[in-house]
Amino acid sequence: MNLEEEINKDALKMAWAELQERIRRIKLGGGKARLKKLNEQGKLSARERINQLVDNPNEVFEVGILAAEKMYEEHGGCPAAGVVVVIAHVAKKRCVIVANDATVKAGAWFPMTAKKNLRAQEIAMENKIPIIYLVDSAGIYLPLQDEIFADKEDFGRIFRNNAKMSSMGIVQIAAIMGSCVAGGAYLPIMSDEAIIVEKTGSIFLAGSYLVKAAIGENIDNEILGGADTHSGISGVTDYKVKDDSAALKKIRSLIEKIGSKPNAGFKHTKSENPKFDSLSLYNVLPKSRTQPYDTYEILDRIVDKDSMDEYKKEYGQTLITSYAKIEGWSVGIIANQRKVVKSKTGEMQFGGVIYGDSADKATRFIANCNQRNIPLVFLQDVTGFMVGSKAEHSGIIKDGAKMVNAVANSVVPKFTIIIGNSFGAGNYAMCGKAFDPRLMLAWPSAKLAVMGGAQAADVLVQIEKASAKKAGTQINKAAENKLRGDIQSRYDEKTDILHAASHLWVDAVIQPEETRSWVSMGIDIANQSPSQEKFNMGILQV
């Protein structure tokens, strides 16, 4: 390994190590004292419940662990948005699992809690796989109720999705393992089947204190809405169990009996290792996000060995379009080429920039993959579309619009991994969050913004200088440099992948060597959801 590779490796490893330290703290939820108190109540923590429920705790894919990070600090924080969401095998069937973390504000729902729950339901709905709710929540966090209650994508959308999933035949099983209050009571009961744990599980629209205040009735919570009441009197729940472990065992038994349905028919053959070890990805990606590199070096460490059939290799070379396999699954790869390349007319083109010919090639390739029922994988390291008079006169907007149209109307599953930059309209064309990728993933090296910090600072400084000139004043060089530095510092913080992950703009920040397993899992669950939609790009400006 040469010095440059050592530097690259150390930079990416350090970025991941910093994230891992943060994740270790997040996994403690509300802290060790609250975890201990939970165990003293005879309850398992959210993560302990998941580990008991799944077939193999080492084969769990967690979604949104960085959600709400650095948010709600004035309220004491909300680690992982107060809810754990994973995709894992339960009784040999891929499921989405949603577990309230009762150590975080008694499992209360913050705005990001609702957003994360909706994302979990979206994954289940898109892929038509079972969803399991492990309920232990005090309901909406009242100090922020105005940010979670009334809008289309707020708390009520959860129950709308419960109803929609039931009509779609998507199995929903809920276990009431703690408190389940007010509007939150509808989630488990709008599921297909509900399990309740004796003594610790309770469910009611209003607790004993509110009942006393509202109608003057004196009653304790156990008689009001405990396991005996809802199993033997109201009939609200379907199964009563003695403890958390029994509830998890019951869920596994119910899932094990679910029958199979026709799949989507995505091609899967024997998996082959990549040409080079995936661990060597750390050596390839440069420390600097502006430094060029050869994206083929990345692909040689992600796709199965000798599986690439590159489409239009000599044309539109700032995008690589290729049929390939990942862990045996057939995929269509669209990747930004980050090295400087020579166009068909002999001119040099910037790496990471989408030119008209690249967009045209990608549009055709997306159509081919839809015709052949091949899922799409986008590897983003893009600074945007080419600008300038030559690009505008050649119709770059029109070519870009075609590519965006193809991405938007694609009916095969799409998976997006941000490995470097994800800037401007390039984010959209390369299947950003707005274009419904089944999974949106990022490496620790990723940056997500309208433009890079340095470029944004230059633009904003020019605007400030123009404003000062119009007012008859001037910004001296020292003031200009300070302004530029302040702007870039603020901008860089917002472009960091942690900021994107905390807002759930990406589902997970992963280690580069995990890319293959995440994509393979994503196609596996997508294969449970055959689509009747036809690919149609509508009206195009040609």
Residue by residue, what is the 3-state secondary structure of 404-425? HHHHHHCCCCEEEEEEEEEEHH
The reported pLDDT for the residue numbered 187 is 87
CA distance 127 to 247: 25
Contact 131/124 with Cβ under 8 angstroms? yes
- Asked whether the predicted pLDDT for residue 490 surpasses 80, the reply is no
Summarize the confidence of residues 268-287 as an average pLDDT.
95
Give 282's contacts (C-beta < 8 A, 6+ positions apart).
8, 9, 12, 13, 512
Contact 487/460 with Cβ under 8 angstroms? yes
Work out the percent of the chain whose per-residue pLDDT is above 70: 98
Q: Which of 111, 60, 56 is nearest to 85 (CA)?
A: 60
Letter string b/e over residues 361-384, b meaning 16 or more CB atoms within 10 A of that residue's CB: bbbbbbeebbeeebbbbbbbbbbb
Mean pLDDT of the chain: 92
- Asked whether the predicted pLDDT for residue 211 surpasses 90, the reply is no
Contact 332/343 with Cβ under 8 angstroms? no
| Element holding 368 (H helix, E strand) | helix 356-371
What the block records as the tokens of 380 is: 């983003």
**How does pLDDT run across 418-445, given as a tens digit for each residue?**
999 999 899 999 999 999 999 999 999 9
Q: Identify the weakest region by mean pLDDT among 88-102, 341-355, 503-517.
A: 341-355
Q: Name the amino acid, one letter, at 76.
A: G
Neighbours of 163 (CB within 10 A): 11
| Element holding 257 (H helix, E strand) | none
Q: Which residue has the tokens 């065992």?
A: 249
Letter string b/e over residues 177-194, b meaning 16 or more CB atoms within 10 A of that residue's CB: bbbbbeebbbbbbbbbbb
- Asked whether the predicted pLDDT for residue 540 surpasses 80, the reply is no
> For residue 448, what are the β-bridge partners?
422
CA distance 524 to 522: 5
Summarize the confidence of residues 218-236 as an average pLDDT.
89
- How far, rounded to the nearest angstrom, does the alpha carbon of residue 460 sit from its chain's CA centroid? 31
What is the three-state SS of 186-245?
A: HHHHCCCEEEEECCCCEEECCCHHHHHHHHCCCCCHHHHHEHHHHHHCCCCCCEEECCHH
The reported pLDDT for the residue numbered 414 is 98
Give 536's contacts (C-beta < 8 A, 6+ positions apart).
409
193 or 455, greater pLDDT: 193
374 or 388, greater pLDDT: 374
Summarize the confidence of residues 208-236 as an average pLDDT.
88
**How does pLDDT run across 284-333, given as a tens digit for each residue?**
999 888 899 999 999 999 999 999 999 999 999 999 999 999 999 999 99
End-to-end CA distance of the chain: 49
| pTM, full prediction | 0.93
491 or 262, greater pLDDT: 262
